[in-house]
Amino acid sequence: MKKISKTKEEFDQFYEEEIKGEIEELEANRNNLKKRRNKQAKITTVAALIPIVFGLIFSDYFIAFFIATFVVLIIGFSKMSKTYKSFEGVMKQRIVRKVVTFINPEFQYAPEKHIPKETFLDTRVFPKKPDKYLGDDLIWGSVYDQDQSETEEHEFSVQNATPENIKQVTSSLERSEEDLQPEESPKTDIAFSEVTAIDVWSDTDGHQQETVIFQGLFFDVDFNKDFQGTTVIAPRKNLFFDFKKLDIFHKQPKLEEIELDNVEFNERFAVKTTDEVKARYILTPGFMEKMLALTDGAKERSKERIPNQHLKIVAKTIEKIVPYFSFKDGKMYFLLNTLQDHFEFNIDKKADKESIYNYFEDINQALILVEELDLNLKLWNKA
């Protein structure tokens, strides 16, 4: 199969030709918005201090002045937030959109949208419905089977050509072009975005607390292999996952844990399914090996972005970089818990090649997913 993901060398060339100059052009805009943000911060600080001072002087009206301070801070932070969103919006439209098109011209990009919450619940991966569900940077489109190894080659000698064989070859070439039209070509539909799922709970003192259930990249892929039922795969060492607590899914078919033939896969993942026969139909020995390789590669890319901190903090963060797979009714869901913000720009710092490469890797991962799991091979396509 022809390689569909992009290489580091291809990115380097793309960056020099398309992105480097664009970043330079956007620097003036970043600096202007940064100055505006800083000015707004100073005005907000001064404006908030005034009612505090008056509240200390006129203690009888302290509550009123406190409320005034609170209102000033809300207005100030709102203005600063709008300034940042203006900066971020321009960067995403001018930079991220170009990266998306470079990786796959078929992809579309909606910075403010994300994979729906209903799809997240449909995976049946997590035991509790999140109280908060956020996300952005939705990318979707089709990946076509570009393997032309089976395409017939039409060669003939012009010197010995006759009107009859010229007409025959021309007709054959026209049919071949029609056969290769995108709407008829085998394809894999894919959508992915950044999402965050949060559980809200109260501690013993009644204080509201939040626990991040999942934060990372969520891929929704056409598996290109017909099947019914649900198979969920989750890492065994996972603080937030417990098959015994799938309480929100009690109205759906029960998931039963099964053991597969791959020892390493069984040690690293727990597999539950509504149909053992269908699960084994999906999880062939070769496919499990590919899933392990994909998981290791994705985790390694995420680990490289962890800031240099205390070794214990880094080790704890790495433990939480875990993948989840869910196969349901002809769909495959891949959730990579990275605990990182993706596709974000820093208004205080000029965008550099390393940060753009991170965005490239996140988007390119969609093609790697299709490529490494052979999801767009002709033999897998649905009838």
Domain end, chosen from 135, 167, 185, is at 185
In a domain, 296, yes or no: yes
Mean pLDDT of 107-116: 94
Question: What's residue 147's pLDDT?
Answer: 52
In a domain, 3, yes or no: no
Q: Check: CB of residue 278 under 8 Å from CB of residue 242.
A: no
Domain identity same for 137 and 156: no
Strand order in the sheet with 208-222: 108-110, 132-144, 187-202, 208-222, 331-337, 322-328, 230-235, 269-273, 256-258
Domain identity same for 161 and 309: no
The rounded percent of the chain whose pLDDT value lies above 90 is 44
Range name among 64-78, 217-231, 309-323 with the lowest pLDDT average: 309-323
Mean pLDDT of 19-27: 94
Domain end, chosen from 185, 206, 240, is at 185
Question: What's residue 20's pLDDT?
Answer: 94
- How confident is residue 308, by pLDDT bands cut at 50, 70 and 90? low
Question: What's residue 192's pLDDT?
Answer: 93
241 Rama sector, left if φ>0, alpha if ψ -120 to 50, beta otherwise: beta
Domain identity same for 180 and 199: no
The phi and psi torsions of 266 (rounded to 5 degrees) equal -65, -35
Is residue 314 over pLDDT 80? Answer: no
Is residue 172 over pLDDT 50? Answer: no
Task: Dump pLDDT digits (tens) for 212-223.
Answer: 889 999 999 888
In a domain, 303, yes or no: yes
Domain identity same for 74 and 120: yes
In a domain, 173, yes or no: yes
Domain end, chosen from 162, 185, 208, is at 185
From the list 137, 246, 242, 130, the residue with the least C-alpha distance to 197 is: 130
In a domain, 1, yes or no: no
Mean pLDDT of 319-325: 77
Question: What's residue 184's pLDDT?
Answer: 54
CA dihedral 273, 196, 368, 323 (to 10 degrees): -40
Question: What's residue 371's pLDDT?
Answer: 78
CA distance 210 to 202: 8
> How many domains does the chain divide into?
2
In a domain, 322, yes or no: yes
Is residue 280 over pLDDT 80? Answer: yes
From the list 289, 299, 298, 233, the residue with the least C-alpha distance to 262 is: 289
In a domain, 242, yes or no: yes
Is residue 76 over pLDDT 60? Answer: yes
- Higher local confidence (pLDDT), 327 or 300: 327
Q: Check: CB of residue 128 under 8 Å from CB of residue 213.
A: yes
Range name among 134-138, 160-164, 188-192, 361-365 with the lowest pLDDT average: 160-164
Domain identity same for 101 and 161: no
Domain identity same for 321 and 197: yes
In a domain, 2, yes or no: no
Domain identity same for 86 and 154: no
- Domain span at residue 328? 8-145+186-380
Domain identity same for 19 and 123: yes
Domain identity same for 341 and 203: yes
Domain identity same for 23 and 65: yes
Domain identity same for 210 and 356: yes
Domain identity same for 37 and 161: no
Whose tokens are 């039922």? That residue is 229
